[in-house]
Amino acid sequence: MKKRQIGKSDLFVSPLTLGGMSLGTNKKVATEIIHTAIDSGINHLDTADLYDFGENETIIGEAIKHKRQELILTSKVGNHFDKEKEIWFWDPSPAYIEKALDDSLRRLQTDYLDLCLLHGGTIEDPIDDIIATFERLKDKGKIRSYGISSIRPNVIHKYMHKSNIDAIMMQYNILDNRPEELFPLITDKKISVLARGPLAKGILSEQAKQQMAKKAIDGYLAYDPTSLHAVVSALQASQEAMTKLAFQYVLHETTVASAVFGASSLAQLQENSALLNDLLMDEQTYAWIKKLRKQLTYDAHRIENI
């Protein structure tokens, strides 16, 4: 398994990343999933302060406290939340970013993040101040690198041209290939993509039938039920497992550093991590999938000349 560099940073991550959002609040189950992921070769864990209103970070922090130096740890800031009331609002102010990071570090039982992402963002944000804040936190040694989690082309464009971000987290999978229109510019800027949702809510996994019935009964993005079923059926008819194809597809793009998947059970984790050493897709299969799925583009928050 070859690790991939995140942007221009000195961070190298496994091609699969364990995302924390689906871990749940059962500490025993979550800890077993985390430890099994690490033992399998996954060295990158992704969380956010908002997940379970801080509880996700607390569970991860306890689980990795004796393994911290072996791992690349990512978390996110920007959502000002009240754990007791379970409410939150967008707050990218420098003061809150600094406070939120300190709170995250306390919950994660560490004194630095390898990668800190702005958890969203709008074009109306004080972008210059946000960038200055991340640079200051980097100078202080509280973060090693920073980036954004966004699917808004205009916001992404601003940060790519005004900051030293190393990573952009974006939803990206066979069905949602909207990020591909931005890949040439992202690659030119020597920035990496962290692909969240690579299995499209499980639609692109071995549980496709069940997940389509639960989460995509009306279709998925530009796919109505009929066209969605046609693509999924064609993928299922392949000699390769759906999950394997889904991971291989997003990782075929050199712009993508890692595919971020969630796991709520040990079985899910083991199914995905078993593919760590089998993630290369041949050009013929890649071309077949590209012809199979629709080519989508972002409808909103666009910029000129992308």
User: Which residues form the domain of 80?
Assistant: 4-200+249-280
Is residue 14 within 8 Å of residue 43, measured between CB atoms? yes
Report, as an integer, the average pLDDT of 151-176.
Answer: 97
What is the share, in percent, of the chain residues with pLDDT greater than 90?
Answer: 90
Total domains in the fold of the chain: 1
> Is the sign of the CA dihedral 192, 149, 141, 18 positive or negative?
negative
Which residue has better confidence, 83 or 264?
264
Confidence of residue 81 (pLDDT cuts 50, 70, 90): confident
Domain assignment of residue 20, yes or no: yes
CATH at residue 129: 3.20.20.100
Q: Which two tokens stand for residue 297?
A: 């583009």
Q: How many residues does the chain have?
A: 306
DSSP one-letter string for the chain? ---EE-TTSS-EE-SEEEESTTS-S-HHHHHHHHHHHHHHT--EEE--TTGGGGHHHHHHHHHHTTTGGG-EEEEEE-EEEETTTTEEEE---HHHHHHHHHHHHHHHT-S-BSEEEEE---TTS-HHHHHHHHHHHHHTTSBS-EEEE---HHHHHHHHHHS---EEEEE--SS--GGGGTHHHHHHTT-EEEEE-TTGGGTTSTTHHHHHHHH-TT-BTTB-HHHHHHHHHHHHTSSS-HHHHHHHHHHHSTTEEEEEEE-SSHHHHHHHHTTTT-----HHHHHHHHHHS------SS--TT-
Domain assignment of residue 298, yes or no: no
Domain assignment of residue 85, yes or no: yes
Domain assignment of residue 207, yes or no: no
Question: pLDDT (tens digit, 9 = 90+) per residue, 279-293?
Answer: 999 999 999 999 999
Domain assignment of residue 224, yes or no: no
Domain assignment of residue 238, yes or no: no
pLDDT given at position 82: 86
Residues tagged active-site:
51
Which residues are within 8 A (CB) of 103 and not within 5 positions of it... i.e. 6 or more apart?
Answer: 49, 54
What is the share, in percent, of the chain residues with pLDDT greater than 70?
Answer: 99
pTM above 0.85, yes or no: yes
User: What is the rounded CA–CA span in Å between residue 228 and residue 8?
Assistant: 37
User: What is the rounded CA–CA span in Å between residue 18 and residue 92?
Assistant: 26
pLDDT given at position 88: 84
Report the candidate in 181, 149, 204 with the shortest Cα–Cα distance to residue 299. 181
Domain assignment of residue 142, yes or no: yes
Report, as an integer, the average pLDDT of 9-32.
Answer: 97
Report, as an integer, the average pLDDT of 198-206.
Answer: 95
Query: Is pLDDT of 306 > 50?
Result: no
pLDDT given at position 110: 98
pLDDT given at position 305: 52
Domain assignment of residue 117, yes or no: yes
